[in-house]
Chains A and B, each alone.
Chain A
Amino acid sequence: MKHLIKNPRDFWSGVMFLAIGALFAGIAFTYKLGTAARMGPGFFPFVLGIILAALGVAILLAAMRDSNKGPGVEKFHWMPVFWVLMPIVVFGFGLKVAGMIVMGLFVVIVSSIGSEDFKLKPTIWLAIGLVIFCSLSFVAGLKLPIPLCPGLDFFEQFALCRV
């Protein structure tokens, strides 16, 4: 198998397009397709899904030709993926509950761990500075409806905490 794949990056993108195309087309099939004159909700996505899958096959096949040699797929670095995306996900789920002050500190400090030369002390100062800046500019200045404080009754007494 391995020696057949001359261009791994193309090959795997072909596989990806084929899978996604098939998935979209398959789901579209469960909606009403309709006729060309009266297109149902499934018509256009079904056609596009088929086209995408076909393109995927073409890319995949071309990646097995000798004339199309290419470099291998670079290694995935899971550490930066984790340290960048995890705090964002936590921010998304936690904003309503914990508020922007807590979540902001969390995002800045935790994401910093992903850097090669992480140092705790300057990071904490950075986090505090950024949270103050964001609270002043986005919430106080632009009046975006972002909860600042944790969603507890206790905090309701502070004017800044009311959204």
Chain B
Amino acid sequence: MELLANLQLGFGVALAGTNILYCFVGVLLGTLIGVLPGIGPVATIAMLLPATFVLPPVSALIMLAGIYYGASYGGSTTAILVNLPGEVSSVVTCLDGYQMARNGHAGKALAIAAIGSFFAGTVATLLVAAFAPPLAELALKFGPADYFSLMVLGLIAAVVLAHGSLIKAVAMIVLGLLVGLIGTDVNSGVARYSFGLPELIDGVGIGPIAMGIFGFGEIIRNLEHGQKRDVFVKKVTGLMPTWQDLRISALPIVRGTTLGSALGILPGGGPILGSFSAYTLEKKLSKDPSRFGKGAIEGVAAPESANNAAAQTSFIPLLTLGIPSNPVMALMIGAMIIHGIQPGPQIMTAKPDLFWGMIASMWVGNLLLVVLNLPMIGMWVKLLTLEYRFLYPAILIFCCIGVYSINNTWMDVILAAGFGFIGYLFGKLDCEAAPLLLGFVLGPMMEENLRRALLLSRGDPAVFVTRPISATLLVLAVLLLIIVAAPAVRKKREETFVEEE
């Protein structure tokens, strides 16, 4: 019954007058910006991060989480209405969602996506509430060596789920780790890689990197290809799904939720893998698989539920271990640190109001998402018809102001421009940037834990294999690598991602 008491505390925090307001504002802003094509959740959160600075930490994190759900749902809306996925995890939604829209069922597709997401969000919130505390307690038993191995496992898993070349993804992670080390070394006080610039002594912030690579780089890419969009739907009518639709979608939503929740805990592409496997599963189970790709409602319901469930459960490693499982969570860690909160297992005991308040706000956020979006779909459609030539200058100015105000320094703006170019270069070379962001956040933590572990063992690296927890984690990491490198799996993986594109 402790769970109930905790949830009660959480809802007390989440429903407190101002917090629910910030949750609402977050969901609204997130959807508003997430709907704009070409801006994924990472860029959205990075852009809106400064807007939370004036708030107390709990409200700020609640608002950021709201922005995340809003941005994800906004991404699905663009996927359905214009066949443009805002992020990789809504690629699958395009397949049947866009076809539904073309057949005149845009309203239904959007509604079932919202309903599925809400159900998934409810279940996943309960899962987070139930599983986070025991995990956090387990994490408290972790020594530095165990933490180091856990991060290795997390990074490897993230690579495995990334698409494209495996070895390039590993290289991107290592590059991220290195960029994360820029700045003063806490032990010796040496300013590493700062090239005598005082602005680099504190290191590179996550804001300039995320905004540069995921915001500016993306805009350059969009401009070079020219933006051709087909908004089929000028007006969305027939919003409510019929009983028949709901009956068909019920089981896919449950299955999608289950798959998504399980896969979301995994580091890396939880939501991506969740939505994709949910779609594949439905196609396999369907009596008439040929309907898929032509506007099957299950093809929207299942992946959308999985996507949202995974988005929720990916908070578990963040809240219990302080380890991000995807770029969005990496940004959340950045936000926590900016607000003076050290992420990790101690949050639950040290700041129960923050911990449970955030969990409760997940459910509130999902509820607000449904309440907010169903009546406002018409407005989102209008936003979609905005021309890109008016859109991107607006994004640029918001990003400039946002990145400047994180630390009030001009250097961050210049850095963001530099990372914009680097992001563009990465795109040309087919190097996926998401692993870099994970490595970037984990770099300093990995070094610190490696240092402590080796100090305790007097320099003996065997400590990583003699401690049972650490050894288990490393074995898992090696197993994962072997499985992915195995020819059969590799082929399957390639097929999966080809189909996705």
Interface residues of A (CB under 8 A from B): 9-10, 12-13, 16-17, 20-21, 24, 27-28, 31-32, 35-42, 44-45, 48-49, 51-52, 55-56, 58-59, 62, 70, 73-74, 76-77, 80-81, 83-85, 87-89, 91-93, 95-96, 100, 103-104, 107-109, 111-112, 114-118, 122-123, 126-127, 130-131, 134, 138, 142-146
B449 to chain A, nearest CB (A): 11
Per the bound structure, the CA–CA distance linking A83 and B224 in Å amounts to 11
By a CB distance below 8 angstroms, the chain A residues around B220 are 77, 80-81, 84-85
**Could you tell me the dominant secondary structure of chain B's interface residues?**
helix
Per the bound structure, the CA–CA distance linking A155 and B103 in Å amounts to 58
Residue in A58, A85, A142 whose CB lies within 8 Å of B417: A85
Q: Mark B217-230, 1 if CB is under 8 A from A, else 0.
A: 00110011010000
Residue in A27, A48, A62 whose CB lies within 8 Å of B167: A62
**In the assembled complex, B414 has its CB within 8 A of some CB on chain A:** yes
Contact in complex: B404, A95 (CB < 8 Å): yes
**A52-B175 contact in complex given A39-B454, A146-B401, C-beta closer than 8 Å:** yes
Q: Mark B456-483, 1 if CB is under 8 A from A, else 0.
A: 0111110000000000000000000000
By a CB distance below 8 angstroms, the chain A residues around B397 are 104, 107-108, 130-131, 134
Per the bound structure, the CA–CA distance linking A24 and B174 in Å amounts to 11
Q: Mark B380-419, 1 if CB is under 8 A from A, else 0.
A: 0000000011101110111111001100101111101100
Contact in complex: A96, B174 (CB < 8 Å): no
Minimum CB distance partner of A50 in chain B:
B174
A78 to chain B, nearest CB (A): 10
By a CB distance below 8 angstroms, the chain B residues around A116 are 226, 389
**In the assembled complex, B193 has its CB within 8 A of some CB on chain A:** yes
The 9 closest A-B pairs by CB, nearest first: A37-B459, A92-B413, A80-B223, A36-B459, A115-B389, A41-B185, A77-B224, A41-B190, A13-B429
Per the bound structure, the CA–CA distance linking A93 and B413 in Å amounts to 8
Residue in B190, B389, B428 whose CB lies within 8 Å of A112: B389
**In the assembled complex, B492 has its CB within 8 A of some CB on chain A:** no
Contact in complex: A39, B389 (CB < 8 Å): no
Residue in A32, A36, A88 whose CB lies within 8 Å of B413: A88
**A95-B175 contact in complex given A41-B192, A44-B447, A108-B394, C-beta closer than 8 Å:** no
Residue in A73, A104, A108, A115 whose CB lies within 8 Å of B429: A73
By a CB distance below 8 angstroms, the chain A residues around B187 are 39, 41
Minimum CB distance partner of A40 in chain B:
B188
Per the bound structure, the CA–CA distance linking A116 and B223 in Å amounts to 8
Interface residues of B (CB under 8 A from A): 50-51, 53-54, 165, 167-168, 170-171, 174-175, 177-178, 181, 185, 187-188, 190, 192-193, 216, 219-220, 223-224, 226, 388-390, 392-394, 396-401, 404-405, 408, 410-414, 416-417, 420-421, 424-425, 428-431, 446-447, 450-451, 454-455, 457-461
Residue in A37, A92, A126 whose CB lies within 8 Å of B454: A37
**Could you tell me the dominant secondary structure of chain A's interface residues?**
helix
Per the bound structure, the CA–CA distance linking A92 and B14 in Å amounts to 38
Per the bound structure, the CA–CA distance linking A51 and B439 in Å amounts to 14
By a CB distance below 8 angstroms, the chain B residues around A32 are 188, 190
B239 to chain A, nearest CB (A): 30
By a CB distance below 8 angstroms, the chain B residues around A55 are 167, 170-171, 174
Contact in complex: A95, B451 (CB < 8 Å): no
Per the bound structure, the CA–CA distance linking A31 and B447 in Å amounts to 15
Per the bound structure, the CA–CA distance linking A104 and B53 in Å amounts to 22
Per the bound structure, the CA–CA distance linking A150 and B325 in Å amounts to 43
By a CB distance below 8 angstroms, the chain A residues around B455 are 37-39
- Known A-B contacts: A88-B216, A107-B397, A134-B398. Give 9 more (CB < 8 A): A13-B429, A27-B193, A42-B192, A48-B181, A80-B219, A92-B413, A108-B394, A130-B397, A145-B408
